[in-house]
Amino acid sequence: MCSMVLLVNLARVVFAPLLEPVRTEFGASATAVGLLATLTWLGSASPRLPTGYLLTRVPRHAVIGGAGAILTVAPLLAATAASLPVLWASAFLMGISSGMYFIAAKPLLSDLFPGRIGSAVGVHGTASQLAAAGAPLFVTGVLLVGGWRLVFALVSVAAAAATVAFVAIASTSNVPNGEGESRDFLGAARRQWRVVLGGIALAGFAGLAWNGVFNFYVSYLVAAKAVPEATARTLLAVVFAAGVPAFTVAGRLADRVAYVPLLLSIGVGFAACLLALTAATGIGQLAAASVALGLVIHGLFPAIDTYVLDSLPDAHRASAYAVFSATFISLNALGSVAVGALLDAGLVYTAVFRLFGIGALALVAVLAAVQLTVGFPTGRRARRSEAA
Query: Does residue 354 fall inside a structural domain?
Result: yes
CA distance 216 to 222: 10
Q: DSSP E strands: which ranges in the chain?
A: none
Please give the residue range of the domain that contains residue 333. Answer: 185-380
Mutual orientation of helices 84-112 and 60-79 as an angle, nearest 10°? Answer: 160
Same domain, yes or no, for 225 and 148?
Answer: no
User: Is 127 contained in some domain?
Assistant: yes
Is residue 37 a part of any domain in this protein? yes
179 found inside a domain: no
**Residue 21: φ, ψ to 5°:** -60, -40
Residues 337, 295 share a domain? yes
Out of 22-31, 252-261, 308-317, 375-384, least confident range: 375-384
Q: How many CB atoms lie within 10 A of CB 20?
A: 11
Q: Residue 386 falls within a domain, yes or no?
A: no
Q: Are 131 and 162 in contact (CB under 8 A)?
A: no
- Please indicate, yes or no, whether residues 156 and 219 belong to a single structural domain of this protein: no
Q: Cβ-count burial of 291 within 10 angstroms (0-12 exposed, 13-18 middle, 19+ buried)?
A: middle
Instruction: Please write the tens of the pLDDT for every residue from 297-356.
Output: 999 999 999 999 888 887 788 788 888 988 888 888 788 788 888 988 899 999 999 999
> Which residue, of 140, 172, 204, is where some domain finishes?
172
- CA distances (Å), 119 to each of 24, 35, 113, 190, in order? 43, 36, 9, 29
Q: What is the CATH number of the domain that holds 116?
A: 1.20.1250.20
DSSP string, 12-46: HHTTGGGHHHHHHHHT--HHHHHHHHHHHHHHHHT
> In the chain, how many domains are there?
2
pLDDT in tens, 23-62: 888 887 767 777 777 788 788 888 888 888 888 888 888 8
- Single residue among 172, 196, 213 that ends a domain in this structure: 172
210 and 305 both lie in a single domain: yes
pLDDT level of residue 179 (50, 70, 90 thresholds)? low
For residue range 120-157, list pLDDT tens digits in order.
888 888 888 888 778 777 888 888 898 899 999 999 99
Contact by Cβ (8 Å): 266, 300: yes
**Highest mean pLDDT out of 173-187, 273-287, 313-327:** 273-287
Backbone angles phi, psi at 371, to 5 degrees: -65, -40
Residues 6 and 119 in one domain: yes
**Torsional sign, CA 256, 259, 263, 264:** negative
Task: For residue 12, tell me if it sits in a domain.
Answer: yes
Q: Are residues 142 and 9 in the same domain?
A: yes
Query: Which of 7-21, 242-256, 290-304, 332-346 bottoms out in mean pLDDT, i.e. has the lowest?
Result: 7-21
pLDDT confidence band for 174 (50 / 70 / 90): low
Same domain? 132 vs 199: no
Rounded CA gap, 258 and 278, in Å? 31
User: 73: closest CA among 155, 146, 148?
Assistant: 155
Cα torsion for 105, 307, 377, 259, to the nearest 10°?
170
Max alpha carbon distance in the chain (Å)?
A: 64
Residue 255 covered by a domain: yes
Do 139 and 199 fall into the same domain? no
Tell me if 178 is assigned to some domain: no
Does 161 share its domain with 194? no
Does 192 lie in the same domain as 138? Answer: no
Instruction: Decide which of 145, 172, 199 is a domain's last residue.
Output: 172
112 and 224 belong to one structural domain:
no
> What per-residue confidence (pLDDT) applies to 177?
56
Q: Report which DSSP code applies to 316.
A: G
Among 37, 42, 243, 44, which residue's Cα sits nearest to residue 125? 243
In this structure, the answer to whether residues 218 and 310 fall within a common structural domain is: yes
